Structure 1
Amino acid sequence: MLETSARLLRLLSLLQLPRDWTGPALAERLEVSTRTVRTDIERLRTLGYPVHATPGVAGGYRLGAGSALPPLLLDDDEAVAVAVGLATAANGAVTGIEETSMRALVKLQQVLPARLRHRVEALTSATMHLPGIGRPTVDASTLTTIAGAIRVSERLRFDYETHSGTASRRDVEPHRLVHWRGHWYLVAWDPARDDWRTFRVDRITPKTPNGPRFTQRVVPEADIAERVQGGVGSATWRYRAQVRMAAPASEIRAKMPAAVTVEPDGPEHCVVQVGSDSPQLLTLYLGLADVDFEVIDNPELADELLATAERFRRAAGRE
């Protein structure tokens, strides 16, 4: 039989699982009587853990949220994950929490067992964090405001500045925060446009109070990822073109990012809507597809293709 302190830790570990535990089930797992389980539950409550009890046949014990933060019980992998996450946050990915992340990390490292401390130190010492040159950071209060509106399903009002610098006022139904390629994005339903929209969080200035409650729409995770990747990519294009490629649409889709639109044009061809920052970059990008293609609607791109072909011909000594 476990000693009292070890038994309390084991009981707390069981209660952290997302399920209800009956008294007899806990007694069986801990190899004690149901009376001892009730006594241990009261000990946990005294320590600050909010253990809720539901009477009845279908009832049981469950660990809930309380008004104060009690001591946390983490297994080895959880403790390492938290420490690495705090070390990453301390490097400034989100503004306003660097110092608090470092303080929390120091406290955690002081109580980590030697075997875990060595794992964390090995990982952090072998990892380099490069500051994103010109990459904007996100204010922690903005993230928490958006996350709070998502959690309680309240409409979010904010000022927004687009990629081109245009300012606007938005009133949307926030759905999900997405972190991708060093930026935070908000995926939301925009009632004014009757469509989904993706917003860069560092360009959002929330307005309070939030709007009225709404019913969340069901959107698969894969659709959210595709929407962010596609919308973000095409929104930053400065140069666009339409190209007919000599390959089936399925083959070209596998080679192109989500932002590129690929439409079948018969069994062996497809029409592609592509974009980039310049004709030069788009020329190189299309060449990487390694299939024949023709430009449909952009003479500037056609001229750049000819210039690049001549340059490569000279480089190969075939003049």
Structure 2
Amino acid sequence: MPKTSARLLALLSLLQARRDWPGALLAERLDVSARTVRRDVDRLRELGYPIAAVKGPDGGYRLDAGAELPPLLFDDDQAVALAVALQLAAASGADIGEAAARALNTVRQVMPARLRHRIDTLRVTAVDRSDARVDSAVLTALSAAVHAREVLRFDYTPATPPERADPPPRRVEPHHLVTRAGRWYLLAWDLDRDDWRTFRADRITPRTPTGPRFTPRELPGGDVPAFVANRFRGTDPTGGWPCRGEVILDLPAAVVSAYSGDGVVEELGPDRCRLLLGSWSWTGLATALGRFDTDIEVVGPPELRDAFAHLARRYAHAGDARRRFPVDGDPPGRGVAGFARDQQTR
């Protein structure tokens, strides 16, 4: 490829990467003079690319959108990134799998042979895809409400049948549209329940028109991914577990640390340590501690000791083939059933 043509392609790639480019910075990136940059910009304009001059102390350039914009340019890395993104689109939970496949085929047809071969050898398989597909129109409506900061009304189909045959629409202040494990969720402030909620997008049927504009509330912790992850694992908005207990294990601290997640481990001797761990229920915490397969001394609180006693009875009944009846209910704590009910209403 002639040097000038290669430089034009490099210049066009840079102009597509950001909104405004100072002329001096473009010259530095291309290793040419400012005069050469001006000449190359004029050449691109002659080819139909709407490049506007940006006023300012240093001057600069901007690639504007046009009614007849010529084909965009992708460098090698961008082509690979686009192929990966389009292949993963089918597993995103949005109902755009067929459209993504057609888009990838369209891009492939205009690629040079070397890039086409690179894309053809790239196969991405998503293992967390979900069968819960979301209509792209629903995602667009939710995203528009988030962007416009307008109160959203929608009908919601929970996992369990509602108490009323014709429940009223939900009214929320939409905050973010997020994905988790192949599903789309709307994070919003529920105006009727006066609390933050997460709603599965595939169960939402938006109503029109939207409501009045609102001033966004401050999300506890300020970190959307962390907030959503904490909600799903049952912790409070700051990431703290509702149930925390302390035990002493007859194992080296190094061994326990490797499997204790966010627990706090204190060495008490070569084969003995103290562990402070949290969970979404006392039964769940006792179960997590039991996997260390060693003698356990409960330091506290009493709820954790009760959970161990409850599990001991449950396991004894499970191991006795002659007995076929349930044991007492869960000890104080949310329990699996309570946690599941919370998730179904979000």
Counterpart of 1:210 in structure 2 is 210
Classify 1:50/1:201 alpha carbon distance in 2 versus 1 (closer, same or farther; 3 Å). farther
The range that moved more, 100-109 or 207-216, is: 207-216
On the 8 A contact 1:295/1:302 being kept in 2, the answer is no
* Whole-Å separation in 2 of the counterparts to 1:207 and 1:89: 26
Counterpart of 2:103 in structure 1 is 104
Is 2:128 aligned against 1:121? no
* Whole-Å separation in 2 of the counterparts to 1:224 and 1:73: 34
Gaps of 5+ in 1: 236-241, 258-266, 315-319
Q: Aligned-pair distance for 1:83?
A: 0.8
Partner SS, residue 138 of structure 1: coil
Q: TM-score, normalised by structure 2?
A: 0.64
Paired amino acid for 1:136: A
On the 8 A contact 2:243/2:285 being kept in 1, the answer is no
Classify 1:288/1:243 alpha carbon distance in 2 versus 1 (closer, same or farther; 3 Å). farther
Q: Aligned-pair distance for 1:203?
A: 1.2
Q: CA RMSD in A?
A: 4.3
User: Which of 133, 137, 140 is the equivalent residue of 1:141?
Assistant: 137
Counterpart of 1:31 in structure 2 is 32
* Whole-Å separation in 1 of the counterparts to 2:218 and 2:45: 38
Q: TM-score, normalised by structure 1?
A: 0.69
Q: Aligned-pair distance for 1:82?
A: 1.0
On the 8 A contact 1:255/1:289 being kept in 2, the answer is no
Counterpart of 1:296 in structure 2 is 303
Q: Aligned-pair distance for 1:99?
A: 2.2
Partner SS, residue 61 of structure 1: strand
> C-alpha deviations, 1:83-142, integer Å up to 9, x for none?
1221233468421x2222111111222333444444433331xx5456967x31111111
Is 2:156 aligned against 1:153? no
Classify 1:194/1:90 alpha carbon distance in 2 versus 1 (closer, same or farther; 3 Å). closer
Classify 1:219/1:271 alpha carbon distance in 2 versus 1 (closer, same or farther; 3 Å). closer
Classify 1:243/1:174 alpha carbon distance in 2 versus 1 (closer, same or farther; 3 Å). closer
On the 8 A contact 2:285/2:304 being kept in 1, the answer is no
> C-alpha deviations, 1:33-82, integer Å up to 9, x for none?
53x64454355456554434332326522234445664222222221121
Classify 1:215/1:222 alpha carbon distance in 2 versus 1 (closer, same or farther; 3 Å). closer
On the 8 A contact 1:52/1:61 being kept in 2, the answer is yes
On the 8 A contact 1:243/1:295 being kept in 2, the answer is no
Q: Aligned-pair distance for 1:297?
A: 9.6
User: Size of the alignment, in residue pairs?
Assistant: 287
Classify 1:151/1:284 alpha carbon distance in 2 versus 1 (closer, same or farther; 3 Å). same
* Whole-Å separation in 2 of the counterparts to 1:58 and 1:189: 45
**What pairs up with 1:59-138 in 2 under 5 angstroms?**
59-67=59-67, 70-90=70-90, 93-95=93-95, 97-124=96-123, 127-128=124-125, 135-138=131-134
**What pairs up with 1:1-319 in 2 under 5 angstroms?**
3-18=3-18, 20-27=20-27, 29=30, 31-32=32-33, 34=35, 37-38=37-38, 40-45=40-45, 49-57=49-57, 59-67=59-67, 70-90=70-90, 93-95=93-95, 97-124=96-123, 127-128=124-125, 135-166=131-162, 167-217=167-217, 219=219, 223-234=223-234, 245-247=245-247, 255=260, 273-274=280-281, 284-285=287-288, 287-288=290-291, 291-292=296-297, 296=303, 303-309=310-316
Paired amino acid for 1:108: V
On the 8 A contact 1:173/1:214 being kept in 2, the answer is yes
Paired amino acid for 2:109: Q
Partner SS, residue 281 of structure 2: strand
* Whole-Å separation in 2 of the counterparts to 1:229 and 1:4: 51
